[in-house]
A = this chain, B = another copy of it.
Amino acid sequence: MGSNLYLGLVHHPVYDKRKETVATAVTNFDIHDIARCGRTYGVEGFYVITPLESQIQLVERLIHHWVEGGGAAYNPTRKECLSLIRISRTIDEAAKEISERWKKKVTLVVTSASRHPKNIGVADFRQALEDLNNPFLMLFGTGWGVTEEVKDRCDYILEPIEGKGYNHLSVRSAVAVLLDRLLGDRTC
């Protein structure tokens, strides 16, 4: 399983600290950690979503270094996971690419750190993923999370990871926990 699941790391449109809509900068550690997790759990692709030309070039340079450049020989395991990465300028562009590849509309699932009346549970999503004929794009917001407009147009909003009265995981940790809950060994 996992081969019908794609990850999307959204740098725009997301909120900043004051709840204004911004485009965040790409974080090197996000790219590496999420690609490594994605490869570990067998996801099909990892979209880095940013409209900023400078950030697109940064990600392209990073991928080139590790997949074709000096990094590929230095650390072949990094090459293996970073080749999962695709770059897209918008959520729509990523969704369109997946839908065209599958000849079927991709289901958009957004994650969030807060509860929402439309939340679906992890178990429901895990079950949906078992239908390998349908592709899913799971979106993670950087900054202070994706905007309400993004949530409104997604098909599903996944329930948050509940902490013990504290709810401030990094996006890197949230990806790791959710991939393990969705695709990891539930018997251990």
Contacts and interface: CB of A to CB of B under 8 A. Distances in A.
Interface of A: 2, 29, 32-33, 36-37, 39-42, 77-78, 80-81, 121-123, 159, 161-164, 166-170, 172-177, 180-181, 184-185, 188
Given A29-B29, A177-B176, A36 B168 contact: yes
Which among A41, A159, A164 has the greatest number of chain B C-beta atoms within 10 A?
A: A164
Contact of A180 (B32, B33, B180): B180
Nearest to A29: B29
Contact of A176 (B39, B81, B123, B169): B169
B177 A33 contact: no
Chain A at the B interface: SS class: helix
B176 A36 contact: no
Contacts of A161: 40, 180, 184
A56 to B, nearest CB: 23
A37 to B, nearest CB: 5
Contacts of A188: 121-123, 159, 181
Contacts of A81: 166, 168
A76 B94 CA distance: 35
Which among A39, A167, A175 has the greatest number of chain B C-beta atoms within 10 A?
A: A39
B168 A40 contact: yes
Given A36-B169, A172-B172, 5 more contacts: A29-B170, A29-B172, A33-B170, A40-B163, A170-B172
Which 4 residue pairs across A and B have the least CB separation, nearest first?
A40-B163, A42-B164, A173-B176, A176-B176
